[in-house]
Amino acid sequence: MKEIRIDFEKCTGCRHCETVCSLQHFEDKINPALSRIRIYVDMENDMHIPILAGPYTDAKCTSRYATVIGGKEYGKCILCRAACPERDIFFEPGTEVPLKCDLCGEPPDPACVKWCTSGALTFEEVDEEKEEETA
Amino acid sequence: MYGWMGKILRIDLTEHSYEIEDLDEDLAKEYMGGRGLATKILYDEIDPEIDAFDPDNKMIFATGPLTGTGAIGSSRFVVVTKSPLGNIGNGNAGGAFGPEIKFAGYDVIILEGKSPDPIYLWIEDDKIEFKPAEDLWGKTAHETEDQIKSQLAKESWKKRGVHVACIGPAGENLVKVAAIIVDKHNAAARGGIGAVMGSKNLKAIAIRGHKSIPIADPKAFKEVVSTLLDKVKDTPFTKNFFANGSSGILHIYNEVGMLATRNFQTGVFEKAEDIDAHLITEKHLVRNRACFSCPMACGGMTHVKDGPFAGRAERPDFETTWVFGADSGCNSIEAILKANNLCNDLGMDTISLGSTIAAAMEMFEKGYITEKDVGFSLKFGDAEAMVKLVEMTAYRKGFGDDVAEGGYHLTNKYGHPELFIGVKKLENPAYDPRACQGIGLNLATAARGACHNKGYTMISEILGDAVKIIPKTDPFATEGKAQLTKDLQDDSCIFDNAGICLFLLVNLWTKEILEQLEPATGAGYTMESMKLVGERTWNIERLFNQKAGLTGKDDTLPKRLLEEPMPEGPAKGRVCKLDEMLPEYYKLRGWDENGVPTEEKLNELGLD
């Protein structure tokens, strides 16, 4: 199975992934607010972190865990992939329909990966057994 | 309309009120957007003779039809206003503020009047708020952005998507080299436009949008951007810009003897290797940062760990590395980084400020000003004095008050106007036209004053063989330079009007802009009609300047570049032969011998 792999070290924050995602899924519209991938720009640490839209949840989150990336700690909501009632990202503005990455293309060939020139996003075969070992 | 949002937001700062107007479709097509459209609006709505700080002056923030679309390098917006230098003022910036104007639903924001008290604007789609900014007044640009974002949202994840354009203390203090700082590290810088914002008591504009840019032919648009991305992403220039920023070209200009050094006393900087961009990358770069939709990612954050210039700073662009390096005779990359960060934080134009300091250094070395005037020694190469003066200028402290008036006033005040290296009171950029004739003609004729980006002839004269976009020409020759300059000036208008960063010119040209513009807008542009848009833009700026009181006599260069032969290097013995090019240029422009556009030309462009 292939997955979108994220190397946040390489992301330059150009947001080409956001523009092409909205074009891919909404045909004639360019709008990062419609994108199923968003770049979190952490200006304090000079990091650009791509976040892929994950599942929708209708309940408030109970997680207390922070995420640690590159030695930097991020509060529980910042890098979360869920479309949830506490935040206004990964919902279509106006209709409030939740957005989720569907690895677009037939067969899957995600548009965001194709427009990513920095190498931060790649679409790769994932060795599931190996993944489990390292996890 | 496609590509355009079709709306203008008109803000009355005096009354704290606003109106949302429709953008006239014909007008939009005629001027495309950005610089052209904004200049047309300003020309129609204000008296070009008024003082820049008169409340009747307006500021026009304008995007282009490609801004924010994902077209390559589509990050740009422009600010056009009457400049404190007396002519048309404009500055454009990248980052992601311009695209956010589009996502909020507007092509253009017009600022009128003057707020009674300091405020900032908070624009979220159709919701416009006038927020008090007393507590922000006096704050640096970086503090201002952080504070506004915290005010707007307590939780950090909510801050994403808010983009801020603001002034620092320099703009508040009406410093004539003040810039508007965008997304902390980008600047709409030249011509003192930050001071105009300060005069209106407007500290910042914060914006966030959720609207869509409609695209006429999305399938074709996606295809052409994909194809161009493949073409652009691995070119030698993309790799160089990615690795070293735009400063990566510094050594090229030093080798051909046109890297202006010590206030244009020579075109060769003997310590150029000490400030070479690869050293910044190797020693201090943390990570690249791109403006919206750009594969070149020439920006980035650096971190100097220790020493007198320790701290974080944006990777400097070529002009900044030049001005705080070669032009100031300074060979410390750490000092360049520090000066750059201070300019971004205090809100100043690196080119104009650095050039003014360089002129002051020459005056000091020649004994025209002394330690009594400055407060300390100000010799070329004194990095600490340079950095100190940057800060003093923003706050108009001591001698900084003189520097704050810009190079023209500074050199005049102390009786040595010949040491001002600039045109129309705007300081020259890095290129010495004694070693490259065409750029001299461009600097002399650009409406905002000495600006390389208004007609980057080096793309042919110096980089021609490497870039292969425009045929190579001999930099020392004057033949054909009038045509070259006119063509590049008109073409640059198309970049600025469409919303594309001019740095992309090392990779693509107007043909590629058209390839993206047509599927995005469906407006029926052709190469010929785009060229006319460019020419129309150039001429409306000319008309504005004429009404503001400028004449053909202002199309000149400093005496040093016209009369003092280059002392060394490949261009040794040469001067810029402007008089061999200017009459032909006027003729090609359809202007009379005094540089006034003929009625025939104005008719042709629909400007009568």
Residues of A in contact with B64 (CB under 8 A): none
3-class secondary-structure state, position B496 = helix
Other beta carbons within 10 angstroms of residue A26's beta carbon come to 16
B301: β partners: B287, B314
Q: Tokens at residue B6, please?
A: 């079709």
Q: For B71, name the nearest residue in chain A, comparing CA atoms only.
A: A16
B213: β partners: A30
Non-local CB neighbours of B401 within 8 Å, separated by 6+ positions:
none
Cβ distance B438 to B487 under 8 Å? no
pLDDT at B161: 84
Q: How confident is the model at residue A134 (pLDDT cuts 50, 70, 90)?
A: very low
* Cβ-nearest to A27 among B184, B209, B218: B218
DSSP state of B131: E
Query: Is B287's CB within 8 Å of A115's CB?
Result: no
Burial of B527 (0-12, 13-18, 19+ CB in 10 A): exposed
pLDDT tens digits, residue range B562-588? 999 999 999 999 999 999 999 999 999
Angle (nearest 5°) at CA B80 between B75 and B83 = 135
pLDDT at B156: 57
Q: Number of residue pairs across A and B with CB atoms under 8 Å?
A: 104
Q: What's at B127, amino acid-wise? A: K
Q: For A114, name the nearest residue in chain B, comparing CA atoms only.
A: B226
Q: Which of A118-132, B61-75, B496-510 has the lowest mean pLDDT?
A: A118-132
Residues of A in contact with B315 (CB under 8 A): none
Q: How far is B341 from chain A (nearest CA, A)?
A: 15
pLDDT at A79: 86
Residue B158 pLDDT > 70, yes or no? no
Give mean pLDDT, residues B378-383.
98
Residues of A in contact with B68 (CB under 8 A): 19, 30
What is the tally of helices (H) and strands (E) in chain A? 3, 7
Beta-strand pair B77-82/B88-93: antiparallel
Non-local CB neighbours of B234 within 8 Å, separated by 6+ positions:
none
Query: Is A118's CB within 8 Å of B288's CB?
Result: yes
Closest CA relative to residue B73, chosen from B508, B375, B468, B472: B508
Share of chain B above pLDDT 90, in %: 97
Q: How confident is the model at residue A62 (pLDDT cuts 50, 70, 90)?
A: confident
Query: Is B209's CB within 8 Å of A33's CB?
Result: yes
pLDDT at A85: 85
Q: For A33, name the nearest residue in chain B, comparing CA atoms only.
A: B210
Query: Is A78's CB within 8 Å of B156's CB?
Result: yes
Residues of A in contact with B288 (CB under 8 A): 12, 118
Cβ distance B362 to B411 under 8 Å? no
Q: Tokens at residue B52, please?
A: 């820049």
Closest CA relative to residue B404, chosen from B394, B414, B391, B412: B394
Give mean pLDDT, residues A24-48.
92
Residue B155 pLDDT > 70, yes or no? no
Beta-strand pair B311-314/B422-423: unpaired
Q: How far is B339 from chain A (nearest CA, A)?
A: 20
pLDDT at A135: 41
pLDDT at B160: 73
The complex scores an ipTM of 0.94
Hey, of B66, B145, B160, B233, which one would you mutate to test binding to chain A, going by the most A CBs within 10 A of its CB?
A: B160
CATH pick for B236-427 out of 1.10.10.10, 1.10.3720.10, 1.10.1040.10, 1.10.569.10:
1.10.569.10
Residue B44 pLDDT > 60, yes or no? yes
pLDDT tens digits, residue range B45-60? 999 999 999 999 999 9
Q: Does A46 touch chain B (CB under 8 A)?
A: yes
State how far the Cα of B424 lies from the Cα of B555, in Å rounded to an integer: 8
DSSP state of A66: P
Q: How far is B78 from chain A (nearest CA, A)?
A: 19
pLDDT tens digits, residue range B278-294? 999 999 999 999 999 99
Cβ distance B513 to B65 under 8 Å? no
Q: Tokens at residue B420, please?
A: 């001002």
* Cβ-nearest to A12 among B156, B218, B290: B290
Residue B456 pLDDT > 70, yes or no? yes
Q: How confident is the model at residue A71 (pLDDT cuts 50, 70, 90)?
A: confident
Q: Tokens at residue A89, please?
A: 């990202």
Structural domain boundaries in chain B: 7-208, 236-427, 436-506+526-605
Beta-strand pair B7-12/B108-112: parallel
Backbone φ and ψ of A120, nearest 5°: -70, -35
Give mean pLDDT, residues A68-96.
86
pLDDT at B97: 98
Query: Is A14's CB within 8 Å of B297's CB?
Result: yes
Query: Is B212's CB within 8 Å of A30's CB?
Result: yes
Computed over every residue of chain B, the mean pLDDT equals: 97
Computed over every residue of chain A, the mean pLDDT equals: 89
Q: How far is B22 from chain A (nearest CA, A)?
A: 20
Query: Is A89's CB within 8 Å of B160's CB?
Result: yes
Query: Is A23's CB within 8 Å of B70's CB?
Result: yes
- What's the Cα-to-Cα distance from B187 to each of A35, A45, B320, B346, rounded to whole Å? 28, 21, 12, 11
State how far the Cα of A41 lies from the Cα of B320, in Å rounded to an integer: 25
Residues of B in contact with A78 (CB under 8 A): 156-157
Residue B457 pLDDT > 80, yes or no? yes
Query: Is B295's CB within 8 Å of A77's CB?
Result: no
Any alpha helices (H) in B366-479, and if so which ranges? 371-374, 383-394, 400-403, 406-413, 437-445, 458-461, 464-467
Backbone φ and ψ of B234, nearest 5°: -115, 15
Q: What's at B52, amino acid-wise? A: A
Burial B106-121 (b: 16+ CB within 10 A, else e): bbbbbbbbbbeebbbb
Q: How confident is the model at residue A74 (pLDDT cuts 50, 70, 90)?
A: confident
Q: How confident is the model at residue B237 (pLDDT cuts 50, 70, 90)?
A: very high
Residue B157 pLDDT > 90, yes or no? no
Q: For B227, name the nearest residue in chain A, comparing CA atoms only.
A: A115
A2: β partners: A125
Give mean pLDDT, residues B530-556.
98
DSSP state of A65: P
Q: Does A97 touch chain B (CB under 8 A)?
A: no
Residues of A in contact with B70 (CB under 8 A): 16, 19-20, 23, 30, 115
pLDDT at B392: 98
Q: Does A117 touch chain B (CB under 8 A)?
A: yes
Cβ distance B104 to B125 under 8 Å? yes
* Cβ-nearest to A28 among B157, B218, B294: B218
CATH pick for B7-208 out of 2.50.20.10, 3.40.50.2300, 3.40.50.720, 3.60.9.10:
3.60.9.10
Cβ distance B111 to B217 under 8 Å? no
What is the tally of helices (H) and strands (E) in chain B? 26, 18
Hey, of A7, A14, A97, which one would you mutate to test binding to chain B, going by the most B CBs within 10 A of its CB?
A: A14
pLDDT at B171: 98
What architecture is the B436-506+526-605 domain classified under in CATH? Orthogonal Bundle (1.10)
pLDDT tens digits, residue range B402-433? 999 999 999 999 999 999 999 999 999 999 99
Non-local CB neighbours of B426 within 8 Å, separated by 6+ positions:
B85, B190, B191, B352, B448, B449, B450, B451
State how far the Cα of A86 lies from the Cα of B179, in Å rounded to an integer: 38
Cβ distance B381 to B326 under 8 Å? no
Residue A133 pLDDT > 70, yes or no? no
* Cβ-nearest to B103 among A33, A77, A118: A33
Q: How far is A129 from chain B (nearest CA, A)?
A: 33
pLDDT at B320: 98
Q: How far is B572 from chain A (nearest CA, A)?
A: 42
